[in-house]
C-alpha cells in the first residue's frame, strides 16, 4: 500500500475521542471501562486521547500534584498499550482551541440543559464551598472536546451518557442553524466492565476521589495492597459465588474477574463451585495484581524519562491543534467573526 492509499485508508476510518482527568489515582474502573478498551480500538479507528486537565480544575487542585498526575496519566496511557504512533495523545490545556470552542458552544447551550446535569448536582453536594461556574458549564467544555475533532464515536460509561447527549444536542442545534458543521457523535459503550463498583459500598461506582482507601483499587497500587483490598471487599451473608439480584458485592467482583480473565459468569460459577467467598476474593485480587504488574513496571520506566513524555505531549498537541484549528475556523466563519488570513 503506497502513501496515498494509506492516507485514504486513514481518512475512511471513523474518529474516536476520549479523555481522563488527571485528578486522584486512576482506578481499575478507569482501566477496565476506558483505557484498556482504547487499546483495542487503535488499529480500527483514528484515535484521539486526551489528558483533560482543564476539567480537573472545577475542583480545587494542588498545582504540583496536578502537574505530576498529568505526566502520570499520559504514562499510564502508554504503559497500558496506547501507541503514540497510532494515536494522538495530548494534554487538553496544550490546545487552546478547547477553551475557544467551549465559549462558542456555550452560547448555543441552554441554562436549563446544564441545570439538569446529574453530575453537577452530585459534585455541588460534594463541593458545597466551591460551586463555581466551571462546575456548571464543564459539560459544554466536554462537548467542545468531542466536536472539535469531529468525533464519530465517544467511549463513555453509563454516568457520562447524559453529557454525550448534550454534545449531540448542541451539534444538531448548531448544524440546524448554520448548516453542516459538526459530526453528531455516537456513544461507544463496551458490553462488559461498563461500571465497576466500590469495594466498600457496591451500590456506588468505584471512584478515584473516594475518601475510603479500601473502596477503590488504583492502577498503580502495590501488588500486596491490591490483594488486601479485595480480601476486605464487602459481600453478603451468602457463601455461594453466583451472579444474582441482591448480591451486589459478589456481582461486582465477578464482573472484575470476568474483565481480567475473559471468563463468563457461568464459567466463574463453575470454577468456584464448592468454594467460599474467601477463596474467590483472593483469586480476584491475585488475578488483578498479576495483570497490572507489567503495566506498573512500564509506567515506572516511563516516569523516569520526563523528556520522552514531553516529546509525546508536544507531538500530540501539534497534531491535535491542526485538526482543532480547522473546526474552529469553520465555526467562526459561520458565526460571522472577522478572520485574518
CA-based end-to-end distance of the chain: 36
Residues 14 and 44: their CA atoms lie apart, in Å, by 8
Tell me if 66 sits within 8 A of 286, measured CB to CB: no
> Would you name the residues annotated as active-site residues?
123, 205, 208
Backbone angles phi, psi at 196, to 5 degrees: -95, 130
Question: Cα–Cα distances in Å, from 97 out to 15, 36, 118, 161, 323?
Answer: 18, 28, 27, 24, 10
Strand pairing category for 186-188 and 46-51: unpaired
For residue 94, the 8-state DSSP code is: G
**Other C-beta atoms lying within 10 Å of the C-beta of residue 275:** 14
Residues 339 and 234: their CA atoms lie apart, in Å, by 59
Within the chain, strands assigned E span 15-20, 46-51, 87-91, 153-155, 186-188
Question: Cα–Cα distances in Å, from 25 out to 184, 221, 286?
Answer: 32, 9, 20
| Three cell numbers written together for 202 | 457496591
- Helix pair angle (63-79, 306-335), 10° resolution: 100
Within 45-132, strands assigned E span 46-51, 87-91
Strand pairing category for 46-51 and 87-91: parallel
Nearest CA among 162, 159, 167 for reference residue 194: 159
DSSP string of 7-19? HHHHHHSPEEEEE
How many residues belong to the chain?
Answer: 341
Amino acid at each position: 500500500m503506497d502513501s496515498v492509499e494509506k492516507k485514504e485508508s486513514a481518512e475512511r476510518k471513523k474518529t474516536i475521542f476520549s479523555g481522563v482527568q488527571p485528578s486522584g489515582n486512576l482506578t481499575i474502573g478507569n482501566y477496565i471501562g476506558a483505557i484498556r478498551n482504547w487499546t483495542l480500538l487503535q488499529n480500527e479507528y483514528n484515535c484521539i486521547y486526551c489528558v483533560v486537565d482543564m476539567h480537573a480544575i472545577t475542583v480545587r487542585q494542588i498545582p504540583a500534584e496536578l502537574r505530576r498526575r498529568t505526566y502520570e496519566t499520559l504514562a499510564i496511557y502508554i504503559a497500558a498499550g496506547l501507541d503514540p504512533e497510532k494515536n494522538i495523545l495530548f494534554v487538553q490545556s496544550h490546545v487552546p482551541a478547547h477553551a475557544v470552542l467551549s465559549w462558542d458552544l456555550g452560547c448555543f447551550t441552554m441554562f436549563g440543559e446544564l441545570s439538569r446535569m446529574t453530575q453537577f448536582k452530585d459534585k455541588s453536594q460534594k463541593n458545597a464551598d466551591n460551586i463555581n461556574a466551571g462546575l456548571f458549564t464543564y459539560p459544554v467544555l466536554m462537548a467542545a472536546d468531542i466536536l472539535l475533532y469531529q468525533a464519530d464515536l465517544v467511549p463513555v460509561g453509563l454516568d457520562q451518557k447524559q453529557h454525550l447527549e448534550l454534545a449531540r444536542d448542541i451539534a444538531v442545534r448548531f448544524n440546524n442553524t448554520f448548516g453542516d458543521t459538526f459530526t453528531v457523535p455516537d456513544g461507544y459503550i463496551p458490553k462488559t466492565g461498563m461500571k465497576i463498583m466500590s469495594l466498600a459500598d457496591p451500590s456506588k461506582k468505584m471512584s478515584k476521589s473516594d475518601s475510603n482507601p479500601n473502596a477503590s483499587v488504583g492502577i498503580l497500587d502495590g501488588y500486596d495492597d491490591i490483594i488486601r483490598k479485595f480480601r476486605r471487599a464487602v459481600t453478603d451473608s451468602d457463601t455461594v459465588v453466583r451472579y444474582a439480584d441482591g448480591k451486589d458485592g459478589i456481582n461486582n467482583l465477578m464482573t472484575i474477574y470476568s474483565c481480567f480473565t475473559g471468563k463468563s459468569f457461568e464459567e466463574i460459577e463453575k470454577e468456584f463451585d464448592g468454594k467460599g467467598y474467601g477463596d474467590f476474593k483472593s483469586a480476584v485480587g491475585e488475578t488483578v495484581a498479576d495483570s497490572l504488574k507489567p503495566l506498573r513496571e512500564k509506567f515506572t520506566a516511563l516516569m523516569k524519562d520526563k523528556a520522552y513524555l514531553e516529546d509525546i505531549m508536544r507531538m500530540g498537541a501539534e497534531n491535535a491543534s491542526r485538526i482543532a484549528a480547522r473546526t474552529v475556523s469553520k465555526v467562526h466563519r459561520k458565526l460571522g467573526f472577522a478572520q485574518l488570513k
